[in-house]
């Protein structure tokens, strides 16, 4: 691993080491910077030698099923998680150093930016571990990363997040402007891109952009008109290679206040029967940001205006047109807008929107039209939501999902019976493959990670697990006691009771293999 030498003004060298105490003891670890070839089984093996691992997961793209480059490892106790973080952080897995930190399901700390600092002008030889070792002297680090390109080379900047603001301020005060590997670095508070862009847009400017110029407008005309507001260093009308005006130009003032006054006075004025647009000259990224903000603002205003009055309708028949959609909903109130969504070829997507003048009318239409049959298809009607609101709601629902794990207390050799063969008296235990003679379920299968079974191993079928106590005798469905030869097959009546309670699996797949009382005569 690379080493960092931090040289202060007195020439001393500080090799950072140590760290603060954890204020929380979680058992779940986030593992980032994973190579795309790392599997869950490999991740399990890599972390299992530190301590017993409950679950592992490599996150993948839903459509391509390719690794997203990060995953999660859950231990049974916090000591194992802390030891894995200490021993395995920044070690190589499939030739690539992994980055480990505690998994925090509450994103408020990350989003707040508290304790987060930005470092730039880093030497190319400084990696994640070297940066972590240097900054850990100032406090407990939650996350540390050097930005890299697609080939893994450093981009010359990185990020460190401490668990408190005091540690971050201490690091900024002592390391900002210092030499790291003979390069003077900048260390300062991390600022989000949106805030940086907003700060850039509020900066004073000297350069003014003018558009909608007539073809006859020359550079001298711009100098004359804008010269009334202050000293001009340059004025130019942009032209084609043949000399024809492009209809816009730039004027640069020596003083920022003069530029601001010129924009305020000349924007919207007419010259040669053309209304000029005069504003701050912007980079492409700044223009895109302004347009995005304007679009989001207009969408928000429209959403606020129709809050509760706009309905989303889906499961529409292809024959439903805009006018037909209006006709269906017009009896419930005044409709302000209506539209059936269509693809570029004009074919209906089966959904649309209807906006009423008041939320009360929309509520009445929703109650009456939701589920109503229209051209042999039941309509689905619901309040319209913005894309961001739907995404936030789905993310909230997804974050509440938890992986289902089995407690180690149920691990010791509990008998398990395949759906097709309890009558044969065979017992199957964890880690033992099912008999080949039994057909396996083809649906409803979800592989669970249980103690003693590695991810990526042979799939386990959906077994019923009857709890059989020693000495317990089985009962036939008719109530008669089983004979001596049947008492050794106690799982049979228990299996039938399970089928009565949970429903017969084979009834829907292959009735001839069903062993429940309702199908014994087949």
Pick from 410, 449, 402: nearest CA to 28: 402
The pLDDT of residue 58 is 93
Checking if the pLDDT of 7 tops 80, the result is no
The pLDDT of residue 337 is 87
User: Which tens digits make up the pLDDT trace of 320-343?
Assistant: 999 999 989 988 988 888 999 999
User: Which tens digits make up the pLDDT trace of 97-119?
Assistant: 898 988 876 666 666 667 889 99
The pLDDT of residue 313 is 92
Checking if the pLDDT of 369 tops 70, the result is yes
The pLDDT of residue 498 is 47
Checking if the pLDDT of 157 tops 70, the result is yes
Angle 429-432-438 from CA coordinates, rounded to 5°? 95
**Max Cα distance, the chain (Å):** 115
The torsion defined by the Cα of 398, 401, 403 and 409, in degrees rounded to 10, comes to 170
Pick from 372, 370, 373, 395: nearest CA to 383: 370
The pLDDT of residue 380 is 92
CATH 3.30.70.330 fits 28-198, yes or no: yes
Alpha helices for 279-405 (secondary structure H)? 284-305, 322-329, 359-369, 387-399
Is the pLDDT higher at 360 or at 471? 360
- Looking from the CA of 12 toward its CB, the CA atoms found within 13 Å total 6
Checking if the pLDDT of 51 tops 80, the result is yes
What is the number of residues in the chain? 522
At residue 487 the predicted structure's pLDDT band, cuts being 50, 70 and 90, is very low
Q: How far apart are CA 385 and CA 393, in angstroms?
A: 10
pTM score of the predicted model: 0.39
Q: How far apart are CA 520 and CA 522, in angstroms?
A: 6
In the three-class reduction of DSSP (H, G, I as helix; E, B as strand; rest coil), residue 119 is classed as: strand
Question: What does the DSSP 8-state code read for residue 467?
Answer: -
Checking if the pLDDT of 38 tops 90, the result is yes
In the three-class reduction of DSSP (H, G, I as helix; E, B as strand; rest coil), residue 108 is classed as: helix
At residue 13 the predicted structure's pLDDT band, cuts being 50, 70 and 90, is very low
Top-level CATH class of 206-281?
alpha beta
Q: What do you get for the CA distance between the two ends of the chain, in Å?
A: 71
Average pLDDT over the chain, rounded to whole? 74
Do residues 373 and 394 touch, judged by C-beta distance below 8 A? Answer: no
Task: Please enumerate in sequence order all residues whose Cβ is within 8 A of that of 303, keeping only pairs 6 or more positions apart, or say none.
Answer: 310, 386
- Give 151-199 as a DSSP string: TS-EEEEEEEEESSHHHHHHHHHHHTT-EETTEE-EEEE---HHHHHHH
Q: CA-CA distances (angstroms) from residue 479 to 30, 44, 415, 499?
A: 55, 49, 25, 16
Mean pLDDT along residues 33-39: 91
The pLDDT of residue 44 is 93
The pLDDT of residue 435 is 47
The pLDDT of residue 417 is 46
Q: How far apart are CA 13 and CA 18, in angstroms?
A: 16
Q: Parse the chain into domains and list their residue ranges.
A: 28-198, 206-281, 305-390
The pLDDT of residue 291 is 80
The pLDDT of residue 200 is 53
Q: How far apart are CA 283 and CA 250, in angstroms?
A: 13
Mean pLDDT along residues 455-470: 46
Mean pLDDT along residues 384-409: 65
Q: How far apart are CA 262 and CA 271, in angstroms?
A: 15
In the three-class reduction of DSSP (H, G, I as helix; E, B as strand; rest coil), residue 398 is classed as: helix
Checking if the pLDDT of 467 tops 50, the result is no
The pLDDT of residue 406 is 46
The pLDDT of residue 302 is 67
User: Which tens digits make up the pLDDT trace of 217-274?
Assistant: 999 999 999 999 999 999 999 999 998 999 999 999 988 889 988 998 999 888 888 8
**What CATH number should be reported for the domain whose range is 305-390?**
3.30.70.330
Mean pLDDT along residues 188-192: 83
At residue 47 the predicted structure's pLDDT band, cuts being 50, 70 and 90, is very high
Pick from 17, 123, 28: nearest CA to 84: 28
The torsion defined by the Cα of 283, 288, 290 and 291, in degrees rounded to 10, comes to 140
The pLDDT of residue 448 is 45
Q: How far apart are CA 8 and CA 168, in angstroms?
A: 18
Which of 109-118, 310-319, 504-513 is predicted least confidently? 504-513
Q: What are phi and psi of 226, to 5 degrees?
A: -85, -15
% of the chain exceeding 90 in pLDDT: 19
User: Which tens digits make up the pLDDT trace of 291-314?
Assistant: 887 777 777 766 666 667 889 999
Lookup: tokens for 423? 């009558």
Mean pLDDT along residues 146-163: 86
Q: How far apart are CA 458 and CA 463, in angstroms?
A: 14
The pLDDT of residue 182 is 83
Lookup: tokens for 97? 């150093």
User: Which tens digits make up the pLDDT trace of 131-144?
Assistant: 888 898 898 888 88
At residue 471 the predicted structure's pLDDT band, cuts being 50, 70 and 90, is very low
Write a three-state SS string for 293-316. Answer: HHHHHHHHHHHHHCCCCEEEEECC
């Amino acid at each position: 691993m690379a080493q960092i030498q931090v040289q202060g003004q007195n020439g001393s060298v500080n090799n950072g080491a140590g760290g603060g105490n954890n204020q929380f003891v979680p058992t779940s670890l986030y593992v980032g910077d994973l190579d795309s070839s790392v599997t869950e089984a490999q991740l399990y093996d890599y972390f299992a030698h530190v301590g017993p691992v409950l679950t592992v997961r490599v996150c993948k793209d839903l459509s391509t099923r390719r690794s997203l480059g990060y995953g999660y490892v859950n231990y049974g106790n916090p000591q194992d998680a802390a030891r894995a973080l200490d021993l395995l952080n920044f070690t190589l897995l499939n030739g690539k150093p992994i980055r480990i930190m505690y998994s925090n399901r509450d994103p408020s700390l990350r989003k707040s930016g508290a304790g987060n600092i930005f470092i730039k002008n880093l030497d190319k030889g400084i990696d994640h571990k070297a940066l972590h070792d240097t900054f850990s002297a100032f406090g407990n680090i939650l996350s540390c990363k050097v930005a890299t390109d697609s080939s893994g080379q450093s981009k010359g900047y990185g990020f460190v997040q401490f668990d408190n603001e005091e540690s971050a301020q201490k690091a900024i005060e002592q390391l900002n402007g210092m030499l790291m590997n003979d390069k003077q670095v900048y260390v300062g508070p991390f600022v989000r891109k949106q805030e940086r862009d907003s700060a850039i847009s509020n900066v004073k400017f000297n350069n003014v952009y003018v558009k909608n110029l007539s073809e006859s407008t020359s550079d001298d005309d711009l100098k004359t008109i804008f010269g009334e507001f202050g000293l001009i260093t340059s004025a130019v009308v942009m032209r084609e290679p043949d000399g024809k005006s492009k209809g816009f130009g730039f004027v640069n003032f020596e003083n920022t206040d003069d530029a601001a006054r010129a924009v305020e006075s000349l924007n919207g004025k007419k010259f040669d029967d053309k209304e000029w647009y005069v504003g701050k000259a912007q980079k492409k990224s700044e223009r895109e940001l302004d347009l995005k903000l304007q679009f989001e603002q207009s969408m928000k205003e429209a959403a606020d205006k129709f809050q509760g009055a706009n309905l989303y309708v889906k499961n529409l028949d292809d024959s439903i047109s805009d006018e037909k959609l209006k006709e269906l909903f017009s009896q419930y109130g005044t409709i302000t807008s209506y539209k059936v969504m269509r693809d570029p070829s004009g074919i209906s997507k089966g959904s649309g929107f209807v906006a009423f003048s008041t939320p009360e009318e929309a509520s009445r239409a929703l109650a009456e039209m939701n589920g109503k049959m229209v051209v042999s298809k039941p309509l689905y009607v619901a309040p319209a939501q913005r894309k961001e609101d739907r995404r936030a709601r789905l993310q909230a629902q997804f974050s509440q999902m938890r992986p289902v794990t089995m407690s180690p207390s149920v691990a010791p050799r509990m008998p398990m019976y395949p759906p097709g063969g309890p009558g044969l008296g065979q017992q199957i235990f964890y880690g033992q493959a099912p008999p080949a003679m039994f057909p396996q379920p083809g649906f409803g299968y979800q592989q669970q990670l249980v103690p003693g079974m590695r991810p990526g191993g042979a799939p386990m079928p959906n077994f019923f697990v009857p709890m059989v106590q020693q000495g317990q005798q089985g009962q036939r469905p008719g109530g008669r006691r089983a004979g001596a030869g049947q008492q050794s097959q106690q799982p049979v009546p228990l299996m039938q009771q399970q089928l009565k309670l949970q429903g017969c699996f084979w009834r829907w797949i292959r009735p001839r293999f069903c062993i429940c009382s309702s199908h014994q005569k087949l």
